[in-house]
């Protein structure tokens, strides 16, 4: 062991100790009166950087007309962030809308009141509310993920320091105005400086910035960053901007890292301190991967998963380029254009596979130990979120549809698949929301409205009146057939809204495992300072009974134990599907559907499909 590596280990231990003390100090600061110090916090110096452009007025920045559709989750998150140091806003147990007087009841009780009702099925296991923190990543893991993200790296390499400073100012104002529970500036800047301190010792961050600094210089700068966070916490946006400039200048002078890279990590650390979902999302490039909720994309038409030798093909889009080239589910793509994919992350592999429409990609594919080459021409592909529509029984009366996420056309695509199955003889249906991470709130409401004749679907509550809303079933004609909904611990956000609406309105039976428990709404705000979006948590959502979903999720009516693994869609091997079939045969879903039909007829609807 060299003396240099020994020093590195000592500095690493010292840094971990200082980081722990800093986070403790941040917590204490949040609970104690602010104590002013005589030291002046660095302020942004216009002489060392070009003049910032004047920020746009709040009413223009936060115009509802310019907001993207709110989403209620792409979770459980694969790139999660540190929880805010102070607790989230408390729930409102009285946030419930009154029932329509004189309406019939569902499930033997009033709409929204059928929680915990038992029938002739296995009794659910005791419910222990959970907080979705088991997948939370360390600051080092988050920094490494950003350093490997093509969008973030591309933005950092092309943005100027002034642009990032403008972005920070704009983001700070939007956080202050719209975040559901913004931490103080002291907490934000402490987290931001700690994030920078972690970044300058991250191998991935340093490699992305092509620097190899002296470990002693890194350790000294880390200690100085921590001391600054403790002694001079910012108390305003301007002071925070000054600290960002100071950190960027120090890193540039001491260890040779570009100021822009440090400023961007300062911003990311600030956003990490808000909650696990808020983030800066740079605009995608023409070559970059498409956004998660888009359905019309340019690519080869496959769903991929990480694999030790490359990427595993999880599904192949019908009539897509990959299907035409003969790729199948279970294939492993091991090389792209002569480059091995072994050891690369999924984002890096996707960047190599992606490209402009009409261009070809050469790949080596492994199928059960046999390798072959394939040439695939990239083109526009429609990737539906509604898949695997089929019958589960030999008599072709119990239909099955899986909803992968709630994206732009989920409601429309589901209606088409339901109509096809219905015309082929379907009398009842199982909707599979296992592994569904969420998506667009509007699409979730529309899907719920296809099955609920009446009642509240979901309620949201935030800091502004625009974030407070209630969505109710209003469609005149809905599906009357018996309904079972499958969920698991990866069913999150919008999928939890749908499951809770079905369960608490007495419309169907929920089967599986406790859902994830993501109960917050994110809004994408287009940015004016740079090309991209700021995704902020702007509200929390509540079930029809007024129950807060965050950290709790949905408890199935019928609990099914299952070891972690891939989702099965074979009814002979899938314990969830076997349980769903038993529940259907038990008759409870049919009874609930009949009661829902009575409600719809009372309201004058045409409930009869």
pLDDT, tens digit (0-9, with 9 covering 90-100), for 139-151: 999 999 999 888 8
pLDDT confidence of 293, banded at 50, 70, 90? low
- pLDDT on residue 599: 63
Summarize the confidence of residues 567-593 as an average pLDDT.
85
Burial 447-480 (b: 16+ CB within 10 A, else e): bbbbbbbbbbbbbbbbbeeebebebbbebeebbb
**Contact at 8 Å (CB) between 150 and 143?**
no
As a residue count, the chain comes to 609
* Residue 56 clears pLDDT 80, i.e. is over it: no
Mean pLDDT within 115-133: 35
Structure tokens at 157: 């390499």
Position 46 scores a pLDDT of 35
Per 3-state DSSP, the chain is made up of helix, strand and coil in percentages (nearest 5) of 35, 20, 45
How much is the pLDDT for 455? Answer: 92
Most confident region among 332-346, 465-479, 481-495 by mean pLDDT: 481-495
Taking only the tens place, the pLDDT of each residue in 234-284 is 999 999 999 999 999 999 999 999 999 999 999 999 999 999 999 999 997
Q: What is the mean pLDDT of residues 311-336?
A: 90
pLDDT score of 99: 29
439 contact partners, CB below 8 Å, separation of at least 6: 71, 72, 73, 74, 293, 385, 405, 406, 407, 410, 493, 494
**Predicted pLDDT at 304:** 86
Show the 3-state SS of 465-496: HHHCEEEECCCCCCCCCCEEEEECCCCCCHHH
Q: Is residue 122's pLDDT more than 50?
A: no
pLDDT tens, position by position, 359-401: 999 999 999 999 999 999 998 888 889 988 999 999 999 999 9
Helices 185-199 and 215-231 meet at what angle, rounded to 10? 180
Take residue 138 and report the two structure tokens written for it: 């360390």
pLDDT classification of 82: cutoffs 50, 70, 90 = very low
> What mean pLDDT comes out for the span 486-509?
96
pLDDT higher at 286 or 170: 170
Q: How confident is the model at residue 590 (pLDDT cuts 50, 70, 90)?
A: very high
DSSP code of 65?
Answer: G
- Confidence at 132, pLDDT banded by 50, 70, 90: very low
Give the phi and the psi of residue 562 in degrees, each rounded to 5: -155, 135
Distance (Å, rounded) from C-alpha 106 to C-alpha 456? 13
297-327: burial string, b at 16+ Cβ within 10 Å, e else: bbbbbbbbeebeebbbbebbbeebbbbebeb
- What's the pLDDT score for residue 595? 85
Hey, what are 362's tokens? Answer: 């050469």
Backbone CA torsion sign across 356, 358, 362, 366: positive
Residue 479 and residue 606 in contact, taking contact as beta carbons nearer than 8 Å:
no
DSSP code of residue 553: -
Q: List, in order of start, the domains of the chain with CATH numbers.
A: 3-26+135-282 (no CATH), 296-382 (2.30.42.10), 386-602 (3.90.226.10)
Helix (H, G, I), strand (E, B) or coil at 47: coil
Compute the CA torsion angle 147, 150, 153, 154 (nearest 10 deg).
180
Residue 106 has pLDDT above 60, yes or no: no
Confidence of residue 349 (pLDDT cuts 50, 70, 90): confident
CA 97/CA 456 separation, integer angstroms: 8
CA 557 – CA 580 distance, rounded (Å): 11
């Amino acid at each position: 062991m060299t003396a240099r590596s020994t020093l590195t280990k000592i500095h690493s231990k010292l840094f971990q100790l200082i980081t722990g003390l800093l986070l403790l100090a941040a917590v204490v600061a949040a609970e104690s009166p602010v104590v002013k110090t005589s030291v002046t916090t660095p302020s942004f110096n216009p002489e060392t950087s070009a003049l910032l452009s004047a920020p746009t007025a709040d009413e223009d920045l936060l115009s509802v007309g310019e907001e993207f559709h709110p989403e209620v989750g792409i979770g459980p998150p694969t790139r999660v962030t540190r929880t805010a140091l102070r607790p989230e806003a408390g729930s409102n147990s009285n946030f419930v809308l009154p029932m329509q007087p004189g309406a019939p009841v569902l499930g033997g009780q009033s709409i929204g009141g059928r929680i915990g009702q038992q029938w002739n099925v296995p009794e659910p296991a005791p419910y222990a509310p959970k907080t979705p923190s088991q997948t939370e990543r360390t600051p080092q893991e988050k920094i490494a993920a950003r350093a490997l993200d093509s969008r973030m790296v591309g933005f950092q390499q092309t943005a100027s320091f002034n642009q990032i400073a403008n972005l920070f100012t704009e983001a700070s104002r939007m956080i202050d105005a719209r975040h559901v529970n913004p931490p103080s500036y002291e907490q934000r800047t402490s987290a931001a400086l700690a994030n920078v301190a972690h970044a300058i010792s991250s191998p991935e961050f340093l490699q992305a910035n092509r620097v190899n600094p002296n470990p002693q210089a890194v350790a000294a700068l880390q200690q100085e960053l921590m001391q600054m966070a403790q002694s001079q916490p910012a108390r305003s946006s301007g002071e925070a901007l000054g600290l960002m400039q100071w950190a960027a200048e120090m890193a540039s002078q001491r260890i040779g890292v570009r100021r822009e890279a440090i400023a961007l990590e300062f911003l990311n650390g600030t956003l990490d301190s808000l909650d696990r979902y808020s983030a800066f999302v740079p605009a995608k490039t023409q070559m970059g991967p498409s956004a998660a909720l888009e359905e019309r994309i340019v690519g080869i038409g496959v769903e991929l998963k990480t694999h030790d030798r490359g990427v595993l093909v999880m599904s192949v889009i019908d009539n897509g380029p990959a299907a035409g080239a003969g790729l199948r589910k279970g294939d492993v793509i091991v090389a792209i254009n002569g480059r091995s994919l072994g050891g690369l992350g999924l984002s890096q592999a996707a960047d190599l596979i992606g490209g402009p429409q009409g261009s070809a990609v050469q790949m080596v594919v492994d199928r059960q130990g046999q390798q072959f080459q394939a040439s695939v021409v990239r083109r526009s592909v429609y990737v539906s979120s509604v898949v695997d529509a089929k019958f589960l029984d030999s008599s072709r009366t119990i239909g099955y549809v899986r909803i992968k996420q709630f994206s732009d056309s989920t409601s429309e695509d589901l209606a088409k698949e339901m109509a096809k199955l219905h015309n082929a003889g379907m009398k009842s249906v199982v909707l599979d929301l296992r592994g569904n991470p969420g998506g667009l709130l509007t699409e979730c409401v529309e899907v719920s409205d296809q099955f609920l004749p009446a009642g509240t679907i979901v309620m949201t509550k935030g800091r502004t009146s625009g974030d407070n809303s209630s969505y109710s079933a209003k469609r005149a004609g809905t599906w009357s057939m018996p309904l079972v909904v499958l969920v698991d611990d990866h069913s999150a956000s919008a999928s939890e809204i749908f499951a809770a609406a079905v369960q608490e309105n007495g419309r169907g039976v929920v089967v599986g495992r406790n859902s994830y428990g993501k109960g917050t709404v994110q809004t994408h705000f287009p940015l004016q300072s740079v090309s991209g979006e700021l995704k902020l948590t702007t509200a929390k959502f509540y079930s029809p009974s007024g129950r807060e979903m965050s950290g709790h999720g949905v408890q199935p009516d019928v609990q099914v134990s299952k070891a972690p693994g891939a989702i099965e869609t074979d009814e002979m091997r899938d314990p969830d599907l076997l349980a769903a079939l038993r529940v259907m045969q038990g008759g409870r879903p049919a009874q609930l559907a009949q009661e829902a039909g009575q409600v719809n007829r009372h309201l004058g609807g045409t409930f009869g499909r």
